[in-house]
């Protein structure tokens, strides 16, 4: 068995829960003694040692010959998947529906056409109720195949009814695929560049979006078309920094599940993503009270859905939970309190508990660095920024890579490392110029940092004030305001001017917004 396949087998075994391991052993032993099953002995060995050491394995289990290993590992992998499939069908309705299709196929092969049709009809009703449209179409095609060979005569117009049903569903799926393709393309573009940086990218996003946007009345769409319609619009407006529109479409996304509560347990991934996008939009529009309300909905999710049964759902839940717990502290200006999240979060990342992708981990490093920077611990901020800066040729989230370098300069400036700052300014400038990242805000920051080694202490306050006034005038400009989404540079400058920690400035602004909101009620 090739090394990659061996690694896959070991990774699968390590990922198993205690209940899944118990089920597998019962599944294997159902008809035979475990002492006679070599692949179960192999499983027990790998489960115990959590690593693949072939010489040790052959020594510990002499019944296994070296020539057998490749086939034995492949068989074990297949048996594990079969066991997991059996266990998963109890809480994955789509697996149960596919099983019914398989049973119908077996009956069809035996020539028991009416029995096959009975099973398919029940499966089709369940698939329709659960909004598994592709499975519904697969069942319809199977029904048409049987009816074309075995005419029941039990339903007048059966052929016409099946043909019409299949046509309508095909058109519906075509529309859904158009929206899902557009949503995926918008997401891929965002992963590449983040927020649009200039008018050229702004227009490119618009042309890409409008060129592929289906012309349809939203209210006439089905559930999934509406979900993907909302997702596509969310990503489009998000990368263009049009956050009120992001709020509109993420709210619409979540409303679809509120109006169809049974869809939450059937499609928990899309529900969690809807909560996540709405929280992002609320954070970017500074709607604190509504943010807290939706955060409670996210935190309540495990009380309604047993996330321990599904590693993917569990990983997604904790991914979003940590993202928005950190943002909660960003909103409030409670950076020091937020540091408590770092240790358990890093444990998940380092142990690869949920196999989060590198892009998400990169963003977490940046957010952790911001927590430490906001709390005044610049050395720790630099440690996490270096985890981003020292990555070898990553081809994703150029925005995070760029702003990590800017924040790194500011953190070194705070520590008084003037010579190091002077040296790094040039390399960071070259990096940003190569990435086409340099805009007016960044140029002003570079101009300030580059001349700091020559500024007298008694002149610093005036320079801080000058930079703040310049940046404040740029904050409302399209494209130019992008840096403020990654780093609250204005609050940092105010903290330097007043001689207080940056989190105190941000906290003060938060309390002022809260007081204003109360007065407007």
Tell me the average pLDDT across 268-297. 95
Residue with tokens 């074309």: 148
Give residue 35's pLDDT: 52
Query: How many separate domains does the chain show?
Result: 3
Domain final residue pick, 88, 110, 129: 88
Summarize pLDDT for 178-219 with one digit per residue, the tens. Answer: 999 999 999 988 877 778 878 888 888 999 999 999 988 898
In a domain, 193, yes or no: no
Give residue 36's pLDDT: 60
Q: What percent of the chain has pLDDT over 70?
A: 93
Contact 231, 253 (CB under 8 A): yes
Q: Length of the chain in residues, anyone?
A: 521
Summarize pLDDT for 83-108 with one digit per residue, the tens. Answer: 999 988 888 899 999 999 999 999 99
What burial letters (b/e) apply to 481-514, b meaning 16+ CB within 10 Å? bbbbebbbbbbbbbbbbeeebbbbbbbebbeeee
Number of Cβ within a 10 Å radius of residue 300:
10
Read off φ and ψ for residue 131, nearest 5 degrees.
65, 35
109 shares a domain with 75:
no
125 shares a domain with 81:
no
Number of Cβ within a 10 Å radius of residue 424:
17
**If pLDDT is split at 50, 70 and 90, which confidence band does 372 have?**
very high
Has residue 279 got a pLDDT over 90? yes
Give residue 69's pLDDT: 87
518 shares a domain with 400:
yes
**If pLDDT is split at 50, 70 and 90, which confidence band does 406 have?**
confident
**Of the given ranges (148-162, 293-307, 463-477), which has the lowest mean pLDDT?**
148-162
In a domain, 246, yes or no: no
Helices (H) and strands (E) counted in the chain, each on its own, are 26, 0
484 shares a domain with 363:
yes
474 shares a domain with 365:
yes
Residue of 464, 391, 360, 378 whose CA lies nearest to 421: 378
Give residue 417's pLDDT: 87
Residue 197 three-state SS: coil
Has residue 153 got a pLDDT over 60? no
144 shares a domain with 35:
no
Give residue 470's pLDDT: 87
Which run of H or of E encompasses 350? helix 342-351
Give residue 194's pLDDT: 76
Residue 169 three-state SS: helix
Task: Name the more confident of 128 and 194.
Answer: 128
Distances (CA, A) of 253 to 230, 296, 463: 6, 18, 46
Q: What percent of the chain has pLDDT over 90?
A: 48
Give residue 225's pLDDT: 94
Summarize pLDDT for 5-39 with one digit per residue, the tens. Answer: 678 898 899 888 898 999 998 888 876 655 568 88
Residue of 460, 481, 484 whose CA lies nearest to 406: 484
In a domain, 327, yes or no: no
**Of the given ranges (37-51, 111-125, 355-369, 480-494), which has the lowest mean pLDDT?**
480-494
Residue 92 three-state SS: coil
Angle at 268 between CA 216 and CA 184, to 5 degrees: 45
Contact 117, 146 (CB under 8 A): yes
114 shares a domain with 13:
no
Residue of 179, 83, 87 whose CA lies nearest to 133: 179
Distances (CA, A) of 358 to 260, 352, 397, 485: 34, 11, 10, 21
Query: What's the sign of the alpha-carbon dihedral 207, 212, 217, 220?
Result: negative
Give residue 108's pLDDT: 93
100 shares a domain with 50:
no
Give residue 340's pLDDT: 97
In a domain, 132, yes or no: yes
Q: What is the CATH number of the domain that holds 103?
A: 1.20.58
Contact 301, 272 (CB under 8 A): yes
Tell me the average pLDDT across 464-493. 79
Task: Name the more confident of 482 and 40.
Answer: 40
CA distance 350 to 344: 10
**Of the given ranges (238-247, 343-352, 361-370, 437-446), which has the lowest mean pLDDT?**
437-446
171 shares a domain with 22:
no
What is the distance in angstroms between the CA of the first residue and the CA of the last residue of the chain?
A: 68
Name the residue range of residue 23's domain.
3-88
What is the Cα 18 distance to its own chain's centre?
A: 27
**Of the given ranges (100-114, 270-284, 379-393, 418-432), which has the lowest mean pLDDT?**
418-432
Q: What is the CATH number of the domain that holds 480?
A: 1.25.40
Contact 139, 124 (CB under 8 A): yes
483 shares a domain with 379:
yes
Query: What's the sign of the alpha-carbon dihedral 161, 167, 170, 171?
Result: negative
Indicate the average pLDDT of the chain. 87
Cβ within 8 Å of residue 194, ≥6 positions away = 239, 397, 398, 399, 400
Contact 250, 277 (CB under 8 A): yes
- The whole-model pTM stands at 0.85
CA distance 462 to 421: 20
Give residue 485's pLDDT: 67
Tell me the average pLDDT across 337-362. 93
469 shares a domain with 362:
yes
Residue 152 three-state SS: coil
In a domain, 278, yes or no: no
Has residue 442 got a pLDDT over 70? yes
Give residue 264's pLDDT: 92
In a domain, 467, yes or no: yes
501 shares a domain with 445:
yes
């Amino acid at each position: 068995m090739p090394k990659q396949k061996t690694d896959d087998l070991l990774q699968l075994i390590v990922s198993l829960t205690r209940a899944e391991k118990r089920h597998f052993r019962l599944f294997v032993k159902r008809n035979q003694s475990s002492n006679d099953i070599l692949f179960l002995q192999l499983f027990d060995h790998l489960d115990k040692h959590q690593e693949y050491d072939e010489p040790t394995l052959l020594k510990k289990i002499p019944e296994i010959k070296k020539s057998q290993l490749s086939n034995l590992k492949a068989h074990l992998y297949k048996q594990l998947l079969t066991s997991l499939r059996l266990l998963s069908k109890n809480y994955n309705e789509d697996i149960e529906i596919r099983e019914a299709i398989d049973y119908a196929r077996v009956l069809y092969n035996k020539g028991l056409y009416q029995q096959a049709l009975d099973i398919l009809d029940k499966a089709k009703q369940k698939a329709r109720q659960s909004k598994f449209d592709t499975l519904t179409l697969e069942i319809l095609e199977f029904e048409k195949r049987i009816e074309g060979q075995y005419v029941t005569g039990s339903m007048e117009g059966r052929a016409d009814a099946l043909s019409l049903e299949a046509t309508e569903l095909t058109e519906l799926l075509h529309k859904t695929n158009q929206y899902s393709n557009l949503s995926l393309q918008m997401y891929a573009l965002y992963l590449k560049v983040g927020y649009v940086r200039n008018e050229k990218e702004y227009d490119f996003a618009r042309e890409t979006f409008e060129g592929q946007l289906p012309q349809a009345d939203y209210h006439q769409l089905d559930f999934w078309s509406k979900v993907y319609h909302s997702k596509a619009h969310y990503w489009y407006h998000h990368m263009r920094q049009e956050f009120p529109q992001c709020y509109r479409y993420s709210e619409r996304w979540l409303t679809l599940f509120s109006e169809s509560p049974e869809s939450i347990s059937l499609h928990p991934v899309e529900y969690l993503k809807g909560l996540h996008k709405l929280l992002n939009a609320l954070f970017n529009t500074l709607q604190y009270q509504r943010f807290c309300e939706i955060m409670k909905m996210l935190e309540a999710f495990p009380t309604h859905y047993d996330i321990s049964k599904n590693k993917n759902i569990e990983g997604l839940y904790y991914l979003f939970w940590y993202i928005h717990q950190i943002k909660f502290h960003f909103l409030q200006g409670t950076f020091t309190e937020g540091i408590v999240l770092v240790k358990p979060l890093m444990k998940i990342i380092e142990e690869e508990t949920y196999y989060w992708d590198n892009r998400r981990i990169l963003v977490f490093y940046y957010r952790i660095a911001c927590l430490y920077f906001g709390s005044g611990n610049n050395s720790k901020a630099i440690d996490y920024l270096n985890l981003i800066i020292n990555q070898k040729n990553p081809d994703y989230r150029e925005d995070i890579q760029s702003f990590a370098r800017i924040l790194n300069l500011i953190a070194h400036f705070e520590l008084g490392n003037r010579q190091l700052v002077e040296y790094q300014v040039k390399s960071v400038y070259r990096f940003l110029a190569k990435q086409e990242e340099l805009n007016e805000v960044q140029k002003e920051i570079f101009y300030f940092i580059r001349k700091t080694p020559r500024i007298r202490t008694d002149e610093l306050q005036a320079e801080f004030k000058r930079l703040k006034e310049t940046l404040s005038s740029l904050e409302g400009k399209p494209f130019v305001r992008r840096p403020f989404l990654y780093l609250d540079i204005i609050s940092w400058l105010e903290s330097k001017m007043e001689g207080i920690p940056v989190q105190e400035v941000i906290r003060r602004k938060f309390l002022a917004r809260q007081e204003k909101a109360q007065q407007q009620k």
